[in-house]
Every structure is written in structure tokens, then in C-alpha cells.
Amino acid sequence: MTQPFTPPGPQPALLLAIDIGNTNTVLGIYRGLDLLDHLRIESRRNSTADEYSALVHLLLHQRGFAFSDLEQAVIGSVVPPLTSVFEEVCRRGIGKPPVLVGPGVKTGMPILVDNPKEVGADRIVNAIAAYECYKKGCIVVDFGTATTFDVVNGKGQYLGGVIVPGIGISADALFARAAKLPRVEIVRPPQVIGKSTLQAIQSGLVFGYVALVEGLVQRLQVALAEPCAVVATGGLAPLIAGETQCIDSVSEFLTLDGLRMVYERNRDDAAERAKTGRDHPPERLVLRRGEPDHG
């Protein structure tokens, strides 16, 4: 097994960033600012910490890493049943409680919504990563199980956003409710005007979704009323971004990068908690409406 290249001299400790989504869980291994590798596994709500510990151990070994190489972990989760499971995986493998994105964690970004507790961890870390990249207003489009549009102004304040059904679950609903329509692969058809039922469905899914994205982005830009960058992430981001001029860039690992940034802003607190053994309550997002979070 080829080991990850390590340049000579002292190296920053390795960080495991874990993005728990409704469909998949993505794990990123960072050394400092560099994403060395990533793993993608299915989010199975009924799996135990024993099962995930064994799976993550195996996958790390296949990539030339071990739990003993990792100094700390950070978790962002939108699947509550799996949050505690992966917390236990980190405690067992790394020997320390992870930083958990939620109430109490320093984000550096005011959350200007009616109830900040309702905002998913993935949306917050996406907003943080996009704003740190552009340092101006941003609209982040995350193509996941649901597609989310999140808006940050030029002051680095999270303003809220839009949630719509993802392409995959939209297609599933169509196939489930229309008995004569065949299930198709979500790919770009040869042309907008479908010459077959299959092509017509693909055109509706792909170009219809492109039109949805363009329309919502235009409305959000008008509402924001300031220059902004439009950043896309998620599995189908390259497909949609390739069909529209409204998306400025695609960042495959935007969520992982945002998790790394949140960890860095809470590094000292995490170290103190690991030293004292105090890991309850876990660190989470500060939720004072309209105020910067100071932990």
C-alpha cells in the first residue's frame, strides 16, 4: 500500500472532517489547509458505532492512514441518529471527543434568521467556506438530497436561503406517481426537445432544474442587492453548472473545507476539552440572533 507523501520537517497534525448527509457521509483527511484524501460512504441510519468504526478503520487503512495518525475530528451532521454514532467512532478511534457543529461552537458568522437552531450544519459551513474564499456576498447552491440556496452578504452575515427538492428525489417522485414513465439516468440529453420519452424526461430533469436554479439565483441576487459570487457544490453541481452562466464556480469539497475552518476557530477549546475530559455539552453553533459568535 502506497503511503501518503510526507515532506521533510515538522508537519501539522491530521484532522478528520466528517460531513454526515442524508444520502452519503463524506470524510476528509486534512493536514493543515491541504485535503490529503477523502472517503464517501452511505449514510445508514440503523448502523451502529461498531459497524462504522470497523468500516472507517478499513477505508483509512486502504488509503494508507490509521486512526492513530489523526489528532482531532470535526463533525457536521443533518442526520441526528448518526451524529452520536460518529461521535462515538471518533472517541474510540482518536481518543478525543470531536468538535460538533452546533450550539456553542465559534463560527465567526452571525446567523440572521428567525431561529438559527433550524439551520443545518452543512448550510452554515458552506456559507463560511464560500465567504472566506471570496470575501464578498455569496450565494451557495448545494445539490444534495435537497438542493439548498444560502445567502451571505458582504459583511459576512448569513441571511437565510431557499430549500427545494433535489433532482434525485424529484425524479423518484415522478417515477413513483407516473406508472408509464420509465426510470432514467440523470444525464444531459442530446437536445432540449426530446425525441423519445426517455429524452423528454431527461430534458425536463436537467434543463428544468437549470431553469429553476437560474430563476432562484436571479431572485436572490435582486434581494441581496450587492455584488456576489455564486458557488455550487454537491454531486450534481458539475452537471448543472455546465448548462448555465449563473454559477461562477464549482467547489467539490466546499463543505469539508468549511468544517476545517470551523475546527480551526475552535482548536483551543477542543484541546482544552480533550485535556480535561469535559465533552458535554458538545461544541455547537452560537445561536444569538444577529450577533457575531464569540463562544
Scan for cell 437560474, then name that residue.
214
Q: Is the pLDDT of residue 275 over 90?
A: no
Ramachandran quadrant class, 277 (left: phi over 0; alpha: psi -120 to 50; beta: rest):
left
Indicate the pLDDT class of residue 216, thresholds 50, 70 and 90: very high
Cα distance between the two ends of the chain: 42
Distance CA 105, CA 124 (A): 12
Indicate the pLDDT class of residue 292, thresholds 50, 70 and 90: very low
Q: Is the pLDDT of residue 125 over 90?
A: yes
**Between the ranges 177-191, 259-273, 275-289, where is the mean pLDDT highest?**
177-191
Indicate the pLDDT class of residue 286, thresholds 50, 70 and 90: very low
Section 272-292 average pLDDT: 45
Q: What is the share, in percent, of the chain residues with pLDDT greater than 90?
A: 83
Q: Is the pLDDT of residue 282 over 80?
A: no
- pLDDT given at position 103: 80
Q: Which domains does the chain have, with CATH numbers?
A: 14-100 (3.30.420.40), 116-255 (3.30.420.40)
Q: What is the share, in percent, of the chain residues with pLDDT greater than 70?
A: 87
Q: Is the pLDDT of residue 31 over 80?
A: yes
Section 282-295 average pLDDT: 38
Q: Is the pLDDT of residue 218 over 90?
A: yes
* pTM, to two decimals: 0.86
Section 176-201 average pLDDT: 94
Section 37-65 average pLDDT: 96
Looking at every residue in the chain, the average pLDDT score rounds to 89
The question of whether 122 is a catalytic residue gets the answer: yes
**Between the ranges 48-52, 266-270, 276-280, where is the mean pLDDT highest?**
48-52
Scan for cell 455584488, then name that residue.
227
Task: Name the active-site residue from 122, 150, 257, 293.
Answer: 122
